[in-house]
């Protein structure tokens, strides 16, 4: 299953060797990175990142990529342009 890093502060997520907050950090995964997950539970998820398999806190994952302000601005501008074109046609 594909999951995405969705940390609240848009920071990195620690990939740990074991499902424990004190386990060795194998890598730091950037915000919005897509990961393949072997399993997801309420606390820890087993994922693979850059050929390393380890554990991340499930609370910092989502099943869809988070929408950023920049994404919303692009959608808004596209819709605004479309609406302006429709208004011109209807006049």
Residue ranges making up the domain that contains 34: 2-65
What's the pLDDT tens digit per position in 33-76?
A: 989 888 778 899 999 999 999 999 999 988 776 666 776 687 78
Specify the number of domains making up the chain.
1
CA atoms within 13 A on the CB side of 82: 6
The C-alpha angle 25, 28, 33, rounded to 5 degrees, equals 140
Specify if 70 maps to a domain.
no
Q: What is the pLDDT of residue 46?
A: 94
User: Any idea what the CATH number is for the domain that residue 58 is in?
Assistant: 2.30.30.40
What pLDDT band is residue 77 in, cutting at 50, 70 and 90? confident
Specify if 84 maps to a domain.
no
Specify if 48 maps to a domain.
yes
Q: What is the pLDDT of residue 21?
A: 96
Specify if 53 maps to a domain.
yes
Q: What percent of the chain has pLDDT over 90?
A: 44
């Amino acid at each position: 299953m594909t999951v995405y890093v969705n940390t609240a502060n848009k920071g990195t997520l620690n990939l740990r060797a074991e499902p424990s907050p004190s386990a060795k950090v194998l890598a730091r995964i950037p915000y919005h990175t897509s990961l393949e997950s072997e399993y997801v539970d309420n606390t820890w998820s087993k994922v693979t990142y850059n050929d390393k398999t380890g554990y991340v806190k499930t609370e910092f994952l989502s099943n869809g990529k988070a929408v950023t302000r920049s994404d919303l601005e692009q959608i808004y501008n596209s819709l605004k342009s479309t609406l302006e074109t429709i208004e011109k046609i209807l006049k």
